[in-house]
Amino acid sequence: MIPAALAIARVKFVLELRRREVIFAMLLFIAATIVIVHFALSGDTGAGSRAAAGMLWAAVVFTAVLGLLRTFAAEQEEGALDALLLAPIDRAAIWIGAALAQFGFLVVVEVVAVPVWWVLFFQAGGPSIGTVVVALLLANIGIALVGTLAAALALGARTRDVLLPVLVLPLVIPIVLAGVTATYGAFGEEVGGLRPLGFLALYDLVFVALAWGTSEHLLGD
Amino acid sequence: MRSLGRLSTTIPLVLSTILIPLTVALAFWWTPEDFDQGLSQKIFYFHVPIALTSYVAFAFGAFSAAMYLWKRTEVWDLRSYVGVHSGTIWGTLVLLTGPIWAKASWGVWWNWGDRQINVFLILFLYYCAYFMLRFSLDEGERRRSASAVFALLGIGLIPLSFLAVRIAQTLIHPVVFSTGGAAMPNSFLLTFLVGFAGMLSLMVLLISTEMRGKRTAARVLQLQRVARGEDA
Amino acid sequence: MEPPVVTLTECSKRFGDRLALRKATLTIAAGETIVLLGPNGAGKSTLLRLVAGLLRPTAGSAQIAGVDATSAPRSLRAGIAYAGHRSQLYRGLTARENLELHARLQGQRDLDITALLNHVGLGDRADEYIDGFSRGMLQRLALARATAHQPALLLLDEPASGLDADGRLLLDATLRAGLGTRTQLVASHDDGLPARLGARAVHLNAGSLA
């Protein structure tokens, strides 16, 4: 189960290293989103503001959806998904592998984007970066999980690319709520303390369980 | 079986015809006017039962989805679809009656600090996406499985949304029930319960009527196929 | 693993409004080889995918060794190989990497990939990305992938398309080697194949078995 998932995730990383299809697009996209949200809030996201903190979450979620559009693309080109479905592996390994890859892509994007965001908006008096990093990591797990689930469900749909954001975004609203709360809390204000982080971990657990229970029905006919 | 099918529409038809007008009568002529909110509080007897009914319909849809994944019979797929469909119809009413109450109580059409209505909004968006998913897949086994899994995931989303909104919330919805039991006069509770029963029976009526339509349509399609000589 | 029995019972498959397979009933005995013949669009691929468990029947059943094909346990799936119209490979990987992935998923640590690639005539192209492979080369690699783990049930969907004369000889030899030792179902346009293999031919036309 774990070795199979890792093998599948590894293939996806190798392909990304060779083709550079997803991560660059995600980086440009997150930069453009941050700029657009900044101008859309016309100055309310100035140095040190809470709006600037919240904006990161909007940008992360939309960027994740962009990456998710290519989740099973490599498996669809030559029908490799059939081979994975017939392999003597737990079928959960297929989406766990895909989710691991999505998680990795998100982390790479954030490693670049979060420091830049920090420098642009918080030369001084920003939220505590440790909390933001933990919240982002937990959120990445959840986003990658439910995103991969939705991408699996949308396989074979006529309007897959249009459909996927519509399926994913309502599912990740709780992540955004908790993530933003955690980030505000990291400004030193008393907003719930560790509870938002605990919630993000709970979210991940609930959807792992649900996805596990339905994984036999997720990808097949 | 046929008589049972008829009963499943007749009973809720009779019940809802009696109970919903009764709720109106009780709400306006029997229950005393609310201390604080005055006449505008009357919408409580409709808005809250409608919202609970909507949750029941979504729960029915999710339950039927689980049954479909277990039994793999088409009728559970239809039930699941009809449940979610009904849930979104009631949900639309929730999102229409909610702002009326909000305007009367807080002077704004939408209160982003109100926990329930925001959870409801997330859930409503989610189940609207169900229809997009379902109708962009070709009719068949794949569509039924994917719809069922999606309907089922909503069960995880409801409590998580409640928790998330609670963690993030700034304002508190006027809590009519305290956790220790009903803190309102008996007349309030009774009217509310009558309203809830009325809305529930109307929901059952709508679901069983739609199910009958769906089953008839499926039967017609099957007969057409037999007529074409496909006999399956 | 022993070669399994494959049974289709009144098996139908519908895609939207189109009936692709209509009440197909077919038994393939353990170790038997069957060539499935029929024009394009007759439902051959659908039948193969139902047997592989990649499709779920609309009505009736498709079973491998007495188990519904869609819910075949891992131990059973380990003995099934299916090569379809598409190569089921990753375009961005080399021929060798594709087979390495397959071996890893099959749990075969000792697979001699170089020998396998030499066997299908791709030894000198082993480390090229399959992006640039011709149809016939992909077909050879797909055949290598499908037979690498010595399956007990081999399902091939028009395996000869795009193959040159040498490739066809290789394919025939592969199928001949499996006669009696594994259950084989091959969809083909080659009317001479059943005779060459000494295998039973089954005709499929407009979704119905003859």
Instruction: Name the DSSP letter for residue C88.
Output: -
Give mean pLDDT in consecutive 10-residue pieces for chain B, a chain of 232 residues. 69 88 84 72 86 95 95 93 96 92 84 83 95 92 94 92 80 42 69 90 93 91 85 61
Give the helix/strand (H/E) hosting C67.
Answer: strand C67-68
Give pLDDT, residue B41: 76
Q: Do B141 and C16 touch (CB under 8 A)?
A: no
pLDDT of C140 higher than 90: yes
Give pLDDT, residue B112: 80
Cα dist from A164 to A8, A68, B23, B120, C192, whole Å: 22, 8, 42, 21, 47
What is the Cα–Cα distance from A199 to C29, expressed in whole angstroms? 55
A118 CB burial (10 A radius; 0-12, 13-18, 19+) = middle
Summarize the confidence of residues A8-18 as an average pLDDT: 95
Give pLDDT, residue A28: 96
What is the Cα–Cα distance from A219 to A86, expressed in whole angstroms? 11
Give pLDDT, residue A219: 79
Give the helix/strand (H/E) hosting C99.
Answer: helix C95-106
Give pLDDT, residue C23: 92
Percentage of residues in chain C having pLDDT higher than 70: 100
What is the Cα–Cα distance from B105 to B117, expressed in whole angstroms? 14
Query: Which of C47, C91, C94, C101 should be substituted to probe chain A, the one whose Cβ sees the most A Cβ atoms within 10 Å?
Result: C101
CA C104, C108, C109, C111 torsion-angle sign: negative
pLDDT of C164 higher than 50: yes
Mean model confidence pLDDT for chain C: 93
* A119 vs B: CB within 8 A: no
- A189 contacts in chain B (CB < 8 Å): none
Is the Cβ–Cβ distance between C24 and C74 less than 8 Å?
Answer: no
Give pLDDT, residue C55: 94
Which DSSP string do the residues of chain B spell out, in sequence order? -HHHHHHHHHHHHHHHHHHHHHHHHIIIIISPPBTTTBGGGGGHHHHHHHHHHHHHHHHHHHHHHHHHHHH--HHHHHHHHHHHHHHHHHHHHHHHHHHHHHHHHHSSS--TT-HHHHHHHHHHHHHHHHHHHHHTS-TTHHHHHHHHHHHHHHHHHHHHHHHHHHHH--S----SEETTEE-S-HHHHHHHHHHHHHHHHHHHHHHHHHHHHHHHHHHHHHHHHHHTT---
Q: Which of C84, C92, C106 sits opposite A88 (nearest CB)?
A: C106
- A170 contacts in chain B (CB < 8 Å): 122-123, 125-126, 129, 157
Highest mean pLDDT among A174-188, A189-203, C125-139: C125-139
User: C80: helix, coil or strand?
Assistant: strand
Question: Terminus-to-terminus CA distance in chain A, angstroms?
Answer: 21
Q: How far is B74 from chain C (nearest CA, A)?
A: 10
Give pLDDT, residue B2: 53
- C106 contacts in chain A (CB < 8 Å): 87-88
Give the helix/strand (H/E) hosting C81.
Answer: strand C80-83
User: C84: helix, coil or strand?
Assistant: coil
Q: Which of C85, C91, C101 sits opposite A77 (nearest CB)?
A: C91
What is the Cα–Cα distance from C95 to C126, expressed in whole angstroms? 5
Q: Do B232 and C56 touch (CB under 8 A)?
A: no
Query: Which ipTM score applies to this complex?
Result: 0.93
Give pLDDT, residue B35: 66
Q: Do A163 and B132 touch (CB under 8 A)?
A: yes
A50 CB burial (10 A radius; 0-12, 13-18, 19+) = middle
CA B94, B151, C20, B215 torsion-angle sign: negative
Which of the four pLDDT bands, split at 50, 70 and 90, describes residue A128?
confident
pLDDT of A46 higher than 80: no
Q: Which of A160, A163, A178 sits opposite B164 (nearest CB)?
A: A178
Chains touching chain B through at least 3 C-beta pairs below 8 angstroms are A, C
Q: What is the pLDDT of residues A20-42, one digit of tens each?
A: 989 999 999 999 999 888 888 87
Which of the four pLDDT bands, split at 50, 70 and 90, describes residue A183?
confident
Q: Which of B140, B141, B160 sits opposite A174 (nearest CB)?
A: B160
Q: How do strand C67-68 and strand C59-64 relate by DSSP bridges? A: antiparallel
Q: Which of A156, A199, A217 sits opposite B167 (nearest CB)?
A: A199
Total structural domains within chain A: 1
Residue in A closest to B149 by C-alpha = A214
- C86 contacts in chain A (CB < 8 Å): 78-79, 82
Summarize the confidence of residues A107-129 as an average pLDDT: 86
Structural tokens at position C16: 């939207």
Q: Which of C74, C89, C92 sits opposite A19 (nearest CB)?
A: C92
Give pLDDT, residue C109: 85
Cβ atoms within 10 A of the Cβ of B13, count? Answer: 16
3-state secondary structure chain A: CHHHHHHHHHHHHHHHHHHCCCHHHHHHHHHHHHHHHHHHCCCCCCCCCHHHHHHHHHHHHHHHHHHHCCCCHHHHHCCHHHHHHHCCCCCHHHHHHHHHHHHHHHHHHHHHHHHHHHHHHCCCCCCCHHHHHHHHHHHHHHHHHHHHHHHHHHCCCCCHHHHHHHHHHHHHHHHHHHHHHHHHHCCCCCCCCCHHHHHHHHHHHHHHHHHHHHHHHHCCC
* Contact residues, B window 149-178, toward A, CB-based 8 Å cutoff: 149-150, 152-153, 155-157, 160-161, 163-165, 167-168
Q: Which residues of C lie inside 8 Å of B (Cβ-Cβ)?
A: 12, 14-17, 19, 22-23, 55-56, 58-59
* CB-defined contacts B:C, below 8 A: 23
Q: Which of B139, B225, B232 sits opposite C16 (nearest CB)?
A: B139
Is the Cβ–Cβ distance between A143 and A106 less than 8 Å?
Answer: yes
Q: Do B140 and C12 touch (CB under 8 A)?
A: no
What is the Cα–Cα distance from A37 to A35, expressed in whole angstroms? 6
Summarize the confidence of residues C172-197 as an average pLDDT: 93
Give pLDDT, residue A53: 79
Give pLDDT, residue B117: 87
Q: Do C22 and B138 touch (CB under 8 A)?
A: no
Q: Do A89 and C93 touch (CB under 8 A)?
A: no
Is the Cβ–Cβ distance between A1 and A89 less than 8 Å?
Answer: yes
Which comes out higher in pLDDT, residue C147 or B178?
A: C147
Give pLDDT, residue A188: 63
Q: What is the pLDDT of residues A154-164, one digit of tens each?
A: 988 888 889 99
3-state secondary structure C5-62: CEEEEEEEEEECCEEEEEEEEEEECCCCEEEEECCCCCCHHHHHHHHHCCCCCCEEEE
Q: Which residue has the tokens 């938002």?
A: A196
Structural tokens at position B68: 């479909």
Query: Which of C14, C54, C55, C209 should be substituted to probe chain B, the one whose Cβ sees the most B Cβ atoms within 10 Å?
Result: C14
Which domain covers residue A200, as residue numbers? 2-218
pLDDT of C79 higher than 70: yes
Summarize the confidence of residues C127-150 as an average pLDDT: 93
Q: Do B140 and C15 touch (CB under 8 A)?
A: yes
Residue C201, amino acid: A
Chains touching chain C through at least 3 C-beta pairs below 8 angstroms are A, B
Give pLDDT, residue B172: 37
Query: Which of B163, B169, B170 should be substituted to probe chain A, the one whose Cβ sees the most A Cβ atoms within 10 Å?
Result: B163
What is the Cα–Cα distance from B157 to B98, expressed in whole angstroms? 21
What is the Cα–Cα distance from C188 to C167, expressed in whole angstroms? 15
CA atoms within 13 A on the CB side of B228: 12
Q: How far is B47 from chain A (nearest CA, A)?
A: 23
| Nearest partner of C81 among C143, C34, C136, judged by Cα | C143
| Nearest partner of B62 among C171, C199, A210, judged by Cα | A210
- B136 contacts in chain A (CB < 8 Å): 154, 157-160, 163
Q: Do B160 and A157 touch (CB under 8 A)?
A: no
Q: Is C162 left (phi over 0), alpha (psi -120 to 50) or beta?
A: left
